[in-house]
């Protein structure tokens, strides 16, 4: 019989067991928090994306890199929507954090003289490498050694609030069905991003749970309309392999289309496959739109030494290749089919420099933050998690625990366990498939048009109103799947609504609005739940306070310019026409 | 998807795979003290169980078991 379990007197509650969560927990302890509890719906250190983070980290090397140039590239990639002060501090902090991780037991790949080995990846600066499961195993154990209490297999569904402050969280055990109440002076969300459970192993447990809980509690979210950079391109045509893009192109892999053309030579002669991720995603989409699929990455020319290096830092992906006969011994035997994975919408928490959200008592680290505050990847996960944990510990010292509201608690419990109580209804998988078929095709949220997004939004609303309320779970495992489907449906609605609102092509391409509009859209789109209504509003990016300025005016988006020059599209009244 | 087979002859019942599975697909059989695949359709094919098994008892294949829509 499932029990009610209350965990009281928590100083800092950390939700999520990836690198941002582990870092937040460690730093909360180091900042003096006595009782730090870290909860994960899987196992701390084995769930989320950190464990599968493709073996690369974008660490800034103070002796070798130009800090200003690195920050400028990040800000430009975000179309000047970045919180520039946070970008700079994350980049700067990535160096000490990397060294700290090595001290805590992470085995980074090193040169023969013991220095961190830098190798080419995507982008202009070389990356450092490691084996994801080893990194997270070491970091999870380091947190436990420091006294963090880790609670595994408990999915947090909602946040507890008291007069607009966050006072903990509720959830359930995914094996026993026990209902959990966590009472905390400060709560850190570190629940990562979401990929709509798309075709990529290693990312199907990040289901926007933190976004959804924060939205329902009343926090302000932002940035969802810009697909996060890792709307990745993956070896996911027929097979179920990934991630590892950075390493594959770094070792010399290149794309070919169905005609055998190395199309990146046309799209980006300077960088080719090492172009920015968004550039690659759109290049693949444009090839698809012209009927040049299937697309492949050719690695058949890689040397046995290169394949050996890949096996060292990407053993999981390389075993996947071997399991379907694409790698035999130390060679790739044929090109691997590749496509963009699902769009990545991050309706992230709006945070300040302390990584405190708009709700007192609620902090955020890693990709659960708005994309303008935290770039994707492990170094930003670690640096932002560290600040969030420290800030949460500071609050825990200053406030008293507020008691839970018994009415709210009863309502959250009912809502959390409801799918278990239905004897019939809709299976989570059925709802998920409907959602994926609506949102994953590339012509919805990659190559965008208002009409197509409006149609998709109607389908998501139908799912929200007619399937999600009827979700049924056979057991606590399926209860998790039901909540994941519910949270993803909410994320999809936010994703589509905000994307429709942004009537320009800035970081994403719209066929009906091909210009980047720096007159009207140097703005953040924000959203808040106001008594059940999705209230969306905009706020000017405070560029006057930031060192890097965007030129005012309107101009055709640079990717559309490239496509026009190639003769792929023409631009006229009403937008883009495909040749 | 992914996980295809756990060799009960090799499985030593250590439970590492049951603990590490991000999607909670595997369980320990109470009577035999061997791991088994309980929720196959939720497997994400990450190969972590195969990688972490100290006895090489787990076999995974990078193919889909269920339909997941792709970009095209």
pLDDT for A238: 57
Residues of chain B with pLDDT under 50: none
Q: Which of B22, B30, B38 to mutate to test the interface with A (most CBs of A within 10 A)?
A: B22
Give percent above pLDDT 70 in chain A.
Answer: 97
CB of B30 less than 8 A from some CB of A: no
pLDDT tens column, A74-127: 999 899 999 999 999 999 999 999 999 999 999 999 999 999 999 887 778 898
* Cβ neighbours, 10 Å, residue A403: 11
* Cβ neighbours, 10 Å, residue A513: 20
The encoded tokens of residue A409 equal 């608690």
pLDDT for A229: 58
Which residue stretches of A107-191 are H helix?
132-145
pLDDT for A232: 60
Contact B71 A197 (CB under 8 A): no
Contact B68 A197 (CB under 8 A): yes
Give SS3 for B60. Answer: strand
pLDDT tens column, A266-318: 999 999 998 888 888 999 999 999 999 999 999 999 999 999 999 988 888 88
| Total H helices, total E strands in chain B | 2, 4
pLDDT tens column, A369-379: 999 999 988 99
pLDDT bin (cut points 50, 70, 90) of residue A26 is very high
What is the average per-residue pLDDT within A372-387? 95
Which candidate from B2, B24, B50 shows the least CB-CB separation from A240?
B2
Instruction: Answer yes or no: are the C-beta atoms of A280 and A442 closer than 8 Å.
Output: no
Confirm whether the ipTM is greater than 0.90.
yes
pLDDT for A397: 97
Shortest distance between the Cα of B39 and any Cα of chain A, in A, equals 9
Q: For A129, phi and psi rounded to 5 degrees?
A: -125, 160
Contact A433 B67 (CB under 8 A): yes
pLDDT bin (cut points 50, 70, 90) of residue A235 is low
Look at residue A227 and tell me whether its pLDDT is greater than 70.
yes
- Contact list in B for residue A442 (CB cut-off 8 A) is 71-72
Shortest distance between the Cα of A70 and any Cα of chain B, in A, equals 31
Closest CA to A194 of A62, A326, A29, A342: A342
Closest CA to A10 of A38, A45, A44, A40: A38
Which candidate from B20, B50, B69 shows the least CB-CB separation from A437?
B69
Contact A285 B23 (CB under 8 A): no
Contact B22 A324 (CB under 8 A): no
CA nearest A53 in B: which residue?
B46
Rounded to an integer, what distance in angstroms lies between the CA atom of residue B26 and that of residue A153?
13
Question: DSSP label at A350?
Answer: P
Rounded to an integer, what distance in angstroms lies between the CA atom of residue A406 and that of residue A506?
46
pLDDT for A556: 97
Q: For the stretch A543-577, what's the b/e string if a residue is b when 16 or more beta carbons lie within 10 angstroms of its beta carbon?
A: beebebebeeeeebbebbebbbeeebbebeeebbe
Rounded to an integer, what distance in angstroms lies between the CA atom of residue A305 and that of residue A311?
10
Which candidate from A47, A240, A442 shows the least CB-CB separation from B72?
A442
pLDDT for A192: 94
Look at residue A242 and tell me whether its pLDDT is greater than 80.
no
DSSP of A32-62:
T-S-EEEE-SS-TTTSTTGGGSTTEE----T
The encoded tokens of residue A404 equal 């839970």
What is the average per-residue pLDDT within A450-462? 98
Rounded to an integer, what distance in angstroms lies between the CA atom of residue A192 and that of residue A364?
10
- Contact list in B for residue A324 (CB cut-off 8 A) is 61-63
Which residue stretches of A31-187 are H helix?
67-77, 84-103, 132-145
Look at residue A231 and tell me whether its pLDDT is greater than 60.
no
pLDDT for A236: 64
pLDDT for A341: 81
Look at residue A401 and tell me whether its pLDDT is greater than 90.
yes
Q: In the predicted model, what is the mean pLDDT of chain A? A: 94
Look at residue A206 and tell me whether its pLDDT is greater than 80.
yes
Rounded to an integer, what distance in angstroms lies between the CA atom of residue A173 and that of residue A240?
29
Task: Specify the range with the lowest mean pLDDT, choosing from A316-330, A408-422, A434-448.
Answer: A316-330
What is the average per-residue pLDDT within A340-356? 93
- Contact list in B for residue A48 (CB cut-off 8 A) is 22
What is the average per-residue pLDDT within A337-347? 87
Instruction: Answer yes or no: are the C-beta atoms of B57 and B10 closer than 8 Å.
Output: yes
pLDDT for A398: 97
User: In terms of pLDDT, which residue wins out, A44 or A132?
Assistant: A44
pLDDT tens column, A49-64: 888 877 788 899 999 9
pLDDT tens column, A498-513: 999 999 999 999 999 9
pLDDT for A1: 85
What stretch of H or E contains A180? strand A179-189
Instruction: Answer yes or no: are the C-beta atoms of A242 and A406 closer than 8 Å.
Output: no
pLDDT for B36: 98
Look at residue A241 and tell me whether its pLDDT is greater than 70.
no
User: In terms of pLDDT, which residue wins out, A239 or A297?
Assistant: A297
pLDDT for A274: 86
pLDDT for B67: 76
Rounded to an integer, what distance in angstroms lies between the CA atom of residue A25 and that of residue B12?
33
């Amino acid at each position: 019989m499932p029990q009610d379990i209350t965990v009281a007197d928590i100083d800092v509650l950390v939700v999520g067991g990836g690198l941002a969560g582990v870092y937040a927990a460690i730093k909360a302890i180091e900042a003096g928090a006595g009782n730090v509890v870290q909860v994960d719906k899987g196992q701390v250190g084995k769930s989320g994306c950190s464990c599968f983070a493709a073996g690369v980290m974008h660490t800034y090397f103070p002796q070798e890199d130009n800090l200003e140039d690195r920050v400028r590239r990040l800000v430009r990639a975000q179309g000047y929507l970045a919180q520039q002060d946070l970008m700079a501090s994350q980049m700067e902090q990535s160096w000490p954090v990397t060294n700290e991780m090595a001290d805590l037991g992470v085995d980074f790949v090193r040169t023969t003289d013991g220095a961190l080995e830098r190798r080419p990846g995507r982008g202009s600066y070389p990356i450092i490498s490691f084996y994801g499961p080893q990194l997270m195993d070491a970091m999870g154990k380091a947190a436990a050694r420091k006294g963090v209490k880790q609670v595994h297999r408990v999915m947090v569904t909602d946040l507890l609030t008291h007069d607009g402050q966050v006072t903990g969280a509720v959830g359930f055990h995914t094996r026993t069905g026990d209902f959990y109440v966590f009472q905390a002076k400060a709560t850190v969300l570190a629940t990562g991003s979401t990929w709509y459970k798309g075709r990529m192993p290693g990312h199907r447990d990040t289901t926007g749970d933190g976004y959804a809980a924060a939205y329902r509690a009343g926090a302000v979210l932002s940035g969802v309309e810009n697909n996060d950079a890792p709307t990745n391109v993956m070896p996911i045509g027929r097979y179920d392999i990934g991630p590892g893009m950075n390493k594959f192109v770094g070792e010399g892999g290149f794309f070919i289309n169905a005609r055998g053309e190395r199309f990146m030579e046309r799209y980006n002669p300077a960088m080719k496959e090492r172009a920015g991720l968004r550039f690659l995603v759109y290049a693949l989409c444009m090839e698809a739109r012209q009927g040049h699929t299937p697309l492949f990455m050719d690695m058949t020319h890689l040397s046995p030494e290169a394949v050996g290096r890949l096996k060292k830092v990407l053993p999981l992906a390389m075993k996947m290749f071997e399991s379907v006969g694409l790698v035999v011994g130390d060679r790739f035997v044929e090109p691997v089919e590749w496509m963009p994975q699902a769009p990545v919408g991050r309706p992230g928490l709006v945070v300040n420099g302390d990584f405190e959200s708009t709700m007192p008592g609620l902090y955020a680290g890693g990709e659960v933050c708005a994309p303008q505050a935290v770039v994707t990847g492990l170094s930003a996960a670690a640096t932002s998690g560290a600040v969030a944990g420290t800030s949460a510990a500071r609050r825990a010292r200053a406030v008293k625990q507020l008691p839970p509201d018994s009415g709210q608690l009863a309502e959250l419990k009912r809502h959390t366990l409801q799918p278990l109580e239905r004897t019939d209804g809709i299976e989570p998988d059925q709802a998920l498939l409907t959602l994926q078929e609506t949102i994953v095709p590339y012509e919805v949220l990659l190559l965008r048009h208002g009409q197509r997004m409006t149609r998709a939004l109607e389908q998501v609303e139908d799912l929200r109103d007619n399937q999600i309320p009827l979700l049924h779970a056979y057991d606590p495992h399926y209860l998790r799947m039901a909540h994941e489907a519910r949270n993803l449906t909410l994320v999809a609605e936010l994703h589509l609504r905000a994307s429709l609102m942004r009537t320009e092509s800035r970081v994403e391409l719209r066929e009906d609005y091909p210009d980047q509009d720096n007159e009207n859209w140097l703005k953040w789109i924000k959203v808040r739940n106001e008594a059940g209504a999705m209230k969306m509003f905009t706020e000017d990016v405070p560029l006057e306070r930031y060192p890097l300025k965007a030129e005012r005016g309107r101009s055709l988006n640079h990717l559309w310019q490239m496509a026009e020059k190639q003769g792929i599209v023409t631009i006229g009244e009403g937008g883009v026409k495909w040749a | 998807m992914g996980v295809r087979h756990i060799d009960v002859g090799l499985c030593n019942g250590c439970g590492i795979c049951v603990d590490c599975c991000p999607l909670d697909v595997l369980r320990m059989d109470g009577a035999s003290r061997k791991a088994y695949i309980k929720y196959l359709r939720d497997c994400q094919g990450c190969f972590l169980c195969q990688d972490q098994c100290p006895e090489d008892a787990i076999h995974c294949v990078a193919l889909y078991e269920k339909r997941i829509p792709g970009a095209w």
